[in-house]
Amino acid sequence: MNQLLALAKAESTGRTLVTLQLDLAHTVIEVLQDCVPRAMEKNLDIGFEGPESVPAECLMEGNATLLRELVRNLVDNAIAYTPAQGVVTVRLLVDRFSGVQVLQVEDSGPGIPPEERALVLQPFYRTLGTNVDGSGLGLAIVQEIAQQCGATLEMSEAHTHKATPGLLVTVRFPPSSKAAEDTSDA
């Protein structure tokens, strides 16, 4: 039910959402802190690679609730699909010059076959053969929020884990209007 409500909230259908200047690093760290107990229950190695805060000129404009939902869905999926003693790594890369921010969530789970990657972005689609509870809405919500932020979402095989294919989800956020202005002034 919560996932359906989140999807409805993400689908703005013409409504103007309240946006603020946001520090994506703070949002990611906050979500990770909330998710640590679940990761510990599965004995997962969960970590963050990136800055503690984003430079002021790179703050993004967005809706805090939706951005938090995007990050939470990616991290929750990684935790859910990664087997015990697995690894979940969340990375944030910030290009100070262009203002582009890249969020990556990588896991050592079973991955998603290339032919199913577009399908898992559709509501209620579930990859066969997984024994994980869920509604099939998490990645559809992520895709909807990413589109509203002008971000792109890409899935690929994780290459840091030898035993399993893993999944690497990359969300590339465009530069904020302030970062774009600063770049054009240079």
| pTM listed for this prediction | 0.84
For the chain, how many structural domains are there in total?
1
CATH number at 141 reads: 3.30.565.10
Distances (CA, A) of 74 to 15, 35, 44, 98, 105: 25, 11, 15, 25, 7
Closest C-alpha to 80, from 153, 149, 8, 137: 137
Instruction: Report the Cα–Cα distance between both ends of the chain, in Å, rounded.
Output: 49
The boundaries of the domain holding residue 179 are 2-10+17-185
Would you give per-residue pLDDT tens digits along the chain (186 residues)?
454 444 455 555 555 567 889 999 999 999 999 999 999 999 999 999 999 999 999 999 989 999 999 999 999 999 999 999 999 999 999 998 899 999 999 999 998 899 999 988 887 776 655 666 666 788 999 999 999 889 999 999 987 766 778 999 999 999 976 555 554 554
